[in-house]
Amino acid sequence: MTEEIIIAGFGGQGVLSMGKILAYSGIMQDQEVSWMPSYGPEMRGGTANVTVIISDERVSSPILTRFDTGIILNQQSMDKFEGSVKPGGVLLYDPNGITRHPERTDIDVYQIEGARLSAEMGNTKIFNMVILGAYMKVKPIVLLENVIKGLKKSLPERYHTLIPLNEDAIRLGMKNVVRKTA
Amino acid sequence: MITFEDIVKPENLVYEKTSLMTDKALSYCPGCGHGTAHRIIMEVIEELGLEENTIGVAPVGCSVLAYEFMNIDMTQAAHGRAPAVATGIKRTWPDKIVFTYQGDGDLAAIGTAETIHACNRGEKFVIIFVNNGIYGMTGGQMAPTTLPGMKSSTSPYGRDIETMGNPLKITELVAQLPGTYFVTRQAVHTPAAVRKAKKAIKKAFENQRDDKHGLSFVEIVSNCNSGWKMTPTDSNKWMEENMFPYYPMGDIKVDGKLVK
Amino acid sequence: MGELKLMKGNEALAEAAIRAGADAYFGYPITPQSEVIEYLMSEKPYERTGMVVLQAESEVAAINMIYGAAGAGKRVITSSSSPGISLKQEGISYISGAELPCVYANVVRGGPGLGTIQPSQADYFQSVKGGGHGDYKQIVLAPASVQEMSDFVKLGFELAFKYRIAVLILSDGVIGQMMEKVELFDQMPRLTDEEIYEKFPWATTGKKKGTERRIITSLDLDSHKMEEHNHHLQRKYKTIMENEVRSEAIHCDDAEYIFVAYGSSARIAQKAVDMARAKGIKAGLIRLITLFPFPEKQLQAFCKQGVKGFLAVEMSAGQMVEDVRLSVAGCAKVQHYGRFGGIIHSPEEVLRAMEQQIIGG
């Protein structure tokens, strides 16, 4: 099994940290992982994207142009990456701020209203965890227990009290993800 | 008849070369101040009993071969980098005694950044700065400390400050930095000056030995009779008349406090 | 099994420096490798092992701090990225001349000049053909994973002290910035003063009475002595060429077409091999781990095996490809493919280049 994912959105949406949590979860279930960010000036407030690969085998190229899954969180990223999802792959997106919805019919498109749901929970910081939950529902590759383990390992001790909140957000995402293609 | 053996007896000994100078003949021009400066540094190290614990850093310039004459462990540095090399040694061997020996081109031109930052960080080593206002090794080119109007092979009509800039008083400059603990300017052209300079060098090494807070910086204004194209005696006279007014003798900062 | 962590390549290198028992890191920040000094500063290695970390005023000063400390027998490391590595070349030449052991990393970005902060492999010539002045070589290790960013620090110090030579870890923005699983090796103790005195009698640690003084220098005004010193250096480099070549062959046993690559390009080419095999093309990859010494014999062996062509894949206009050509000496077709200036080639592009330039060309 090899899962190649692109997560793309605005800086500040938690794109990179969501990728990191995914990668950590992969390690927790004894898989090989890589996390390759776009870096540079665009880190500071512009668009941000990260390629995450989870595999049972040694990861070859950490740089890809085609992905099994695209997680797309703003319009610029939709324009840039809709075409990069492999035929038969998954495109998961948040409709907030999207003016042109995905048009492809050879992939499975899912929607998660992460921005709205996290705002309703009163904490927009857990936006990326809602998205992560939606992804985990669509592609059950990393298990919730391993995500929690990964969080415990990657977060400083003082933030461990926030783990239940993150878990709630993941569950919320799992519950609310909607399939848009037939 | 009195023989050589009759005279050379321990009880007749009035002066002995320090064992910390090698027997190799100095490569410096006759009349140059470098030899004296070398000797008094080595005497200080011997008198303070620091030789087994001292690492010197030689520069690029006339004293590039200082390690041939100083009978202690030494590292030869790239041009201007001696304070960085000394930082590397002192930071990893904080209990050792470390010093650099640098000329004006090395310390005040190509190595200005290394000099200022080592001083500003308060590195706990000694810098001996020999300023003769000229590049001696490469044949008498203009130095950052060459005086206005002074001739050199790259200022053959005299240093024109409009186009060539002003002589750099780097010693006054580093004295302003909080990282320097002791800053002084000395000379080695008369017995009295040598005695004072040696006292200053001793104080600098004592500061380091006693782990005083900051860098000790000793400038020695010296002559370059070859580069200045004078006899040694004339060059010393010229130095007193021209260099000393621009580079005045004496302590500038003592125990971390400005005294001038 | 050692501690498992998800780390950036730059962080793994920094952590490995602490664990390898380094005495000091001297460096200056530059993208894309600033995480090295940031990580070290936040880890407080002076509390963990007594290791010194100092942010120098420039790369020039940093490499000279390395020169000073290495000459005094200490285990020291620095890192930078391309423009900063250019500044360090003076020091590297002196270190090579004076035969001092040290490890330094170049997390390469696109050039020339200020270039770009994006990944590149355009510093190959600088790394293996000199960079500074004079006839010298350094051992060049090319990590292709975060794991190797850690492992090569340890290996680098071993080689540096075995041969009294500078060891360059030639990384790039991809390997430096990406995160992967890394198994950290256990903490090694720093050498004690007594161990340094005993192991490195050449080091300037203070002249004991009745012993010869030690001099660290690269200068000898006597040309005959300098020629002899150069002969000595060349003999040492030859020993290294005979004993320290490292490479990894992937799917090469039955390969007709071989990608030659190092670092992140090797990872990309590995994906291209998988894609080629899926299409029925017998492709393989030789991943170069040491760039000096260059795996010349390993490449020559493929000639006997009947390989039809080599594609050198590197993020440069074609630098390593010259050494590939010299090694295989016309036995098979050799071509270069690579994007540069900060653009990273994709596995698809690399495979297409193999099909068009080697197989179909």
**What are the two backbone dihedrals, phi and then psi, of residue C180, each rounded to the nearest 5 degrees?**
-145, 170
Tokens 């035969």 belong to C99
Tokens 């003999």 belong to C235
| A60 contacts chain C (CB < 8 A) | yes
Q: Which residues of chain B does C69 touch, with a Cβ-Cβ cutoff of 8 Å?
A: 88-89, 91-92
Per residue in A76-110, is it b (16+ CB within 10 Å) or e — as a string? Answer: bbbebbbebbeeebbbbbbeeebeeebeeeebbbb
Interface test with C, best of A21, A56, A63, A142 (most C CBs within 10 A): A63
Q: Which residues of chain C does B89 touch, with a Cβ-Cβ cutoff of 8 Å?
A: 68-69, 71-72, 204
Contact criterion met (CB < 8 Å) for A33 and C344: no
Q: With 90 as the cut, is the pLDDT of residue A11 above it?
A: no
Contact criterion met (CB < 8 Å) for B81 and C24: no
* Residue A42, pLDDT score: 47
Nearest to C6 among A24, A64, A66 (CB): A24
pLDDT tens for each residue of A96-114:
999 999 999 999 999 999 9
CATH label, C3-193, candidates 3.40.50.970, 3.30.465.10, 3.50.50.60, 3.40.50.300: 3.40.50.970
pTM for this predicted structure: 0.95
pLDDT tens for each residue of A173-182:
999 999 998 7
Contact criterion met (CB < 8 Å) for B64 and C68: no
Q: Looking at CA atoms only, how far is residue A113 from chain C in angstroms?
A: 29
**What is the per-residue DSSP string for A38-83?**
--SGGGTTSEEEEEEEEESS----S--SSEEEEEE-SHHHHHHHGG
Show which of residues 96-155 on chain B sit within 8 Å of chain C, judged by CB atoms: 96, 113-114, 116-117
Residue B21 resides in a domain: no
* Residue C137, pLDDT score: 98
Q: With 90 as the cut, is the pLDDT of residue B12 above it?
A: no
Residue B2 resides in a domain: no
> Which amino acid belongs to residue A70?
G
* Residue B260, pLDDT score: 86
Split into its structural domains, chain B has a count of 1
Find out whether B70 and B95 touch, Cβ atoms under 8 Å.
Answer: no
Q: Which residues, including other chains, have CB under 8 Å from residue A144's CB and lie 6 or more apart?
A: A136, A167, A170
| C267 contacts chain A (CB < 8 A) | yes
Q: Which residues of chain A does C344 touch, with a Cβ-Cβ cutoff of 8 Å?
A: 63
**What are the two backbone dihedrals, phi and then psi, of residue C8, each rounded to the nearest 5 degrees?**
-75, 155
Q: Which residue of C has its CA nearest to A27?
A: C181
Nearest to C61 among B52, B74, B117 (CB): B117
Contact criterion met (CB < 8 Å) for B91 and C65: yes
Q: Which residues of chain C does B114 touch, with a Cβ-Cβ cutoff of 8 Å?
A: 57, 60-61, 64
Contact criterion met (CB < 8 Å) for B92 and C23: yes
A2-179 maps to CATH 1.10.10.10: no
Q: Looking at CA atoms only, how far is residue A5 from chain C in angstroms?
A: 14
pLDDT tens for each residue of B137-181:
898 999 999 999 999 999 999 999 999 999 999 999 999 999 999
Q: Which of A37-46, B129-138, B224-233 has the lowest mean pLDDT?
A: A37-46
CATH class of C247-359: alpha beta
pLDDT tens for each residue of B83-138:
999 999 999 999 999 999 999 999 999 999 999 999 999 999 999 999 999 999 89
* Residue A40, pLDDT score: 57
Nearest to C267 among A27, A39, A62 (CB): A62
Residue B243 resides in a domain: yes
* Residue B11, pLDDT score: 87
Contact criterion met (CB < 8 Å) for A63 and C6: no
The domain that holds B87 is classified in CATH as: 3.40.50.970
Chains touching B, CB cut-off 8 Å, 3+ pairs: C
Element (H, E) at A117: helix A114-120
pLDDT tens for each residue of A48-67:
999 999 999 999 999 999 99
Q: Looking at CA atoms only, how far is residue C25 from chain B in angstroms?
A: 10
Domain limits at B157?
26-258
| A154 contacts chain C (CB < 8 A) | yes
Chains B and A touch (3+ CB pairs under 8 A): no
C3-8 and C24-27: which strand pairing?
unpaired
Q: Which residue of C has its CA nearest to B66?
A: C215
Nearest to B77 among C24, C26, C64 (CB): C64
Distance CA C122, CA C82 (A): 9
Q: Which residue of C has its CA nearest to A35?
A: C179
CA distances for B124 relative to A163, B209, B253, angstroms = 49, 9, 16
C-alpha closest to that of B119 among B216, B249, B212? B216
Nearest to B81 among C64, C71, C213 (CB): C64
| A39 contacts chain C (CB < 8 A) | yes
> Across chain B, what does the average pLDDT equal?
96
Residue B81 resides in a domain: yes
Q: With 50 as the cut, is the pLDDT of residue B255 above it?
A: yes
Give the total residue count for chain C.
361
Contact criterion met (CB < 8 Å) for B72 and C24: no
Residue B43 resides in a domain: yes
Residue B177 resides in a domain: yes
Per residue in C87-112, is it b (16+ CB within 10 Å) or e — as a string? Answer: bbbbbbbbbbbbbbbbbbbbbbbbbe
Q: With 50 as the cut, is the pLDDT of residue B42 above it?
A: yes
Chains B and C touch (3+ CB pairs under 8 A): yes
Contact criterion met (CB < 8 Å) for C177 and A36: yes
Find out whether B72 and B53 touch, Cβ atoms under 8 Å.
Answer: no
Continuous H helices in chain C: 9-19, 35-43, 45-48, 59-71, 82-97, 124-128, 146-163, 173-177, 193-199, 223-243, 263-278, 296-304, 320-328, 347-353
Q: With 70 as the cut, is the pLDDT of residue A41 above it?
A: no
Residue B39 resides in a domain: yes
Indicate the domain borders of chain C.
3-193, 247-359
* Residue A7, pLDDT score: 97
pLDDT tens for each residue of C149-173:
999 999 999 999 999 999 999 999 9
- Angle among Cα A80, A83, A89 to the nearest 5 degrees reads 125
C-alpha closest to that of A138 among A166, A105, A107? A107
* Residue C14, pLDDT score: 98
| A59 contacts chain C (CB < 8 A) | yes
| C251 contacts chain A (CB < 8 A) | no
* Residue A45, pLDDT score: 55
* Residue B4, pLDDT score: 85
What's the pLDDT band for B209 if we cut at 50, 70, 90?
very high
Tens place of pLDDT per residue across chain C (361 aa): 788 999 999 999 999 999 999 999 999 999 999 999 999 999 999 999 999 999 999 999 999 999 999 999 999 999 999 999 999 999 999 999 999 999 999 999 999 999 999 999 999 999 999 899 999 999 999 999 999 999 999 999 999 999 999 999 999 999 999 999 999 999 999 999 999 999 999 999 999 999 999 999 999 999 999 999 999 999 999 999 999 999 999 999 999 999 999 999 999 999 999 999 999 999 999 999 999 999 999 999 999 898 999 999 999 999 999 999 999 988 999 999 999 999 999 999 999 999 999 998 6
Continuous H helices in chain B: 4-7, 34-47, 66-69, 82-92, 104-105, 112-121, 161-164, 170-175, 191-209, 225-228, 232-238, 244-246
Q: Looking at CA atoms only, how far is residue A38 from chain C in angstroms?
A: 9
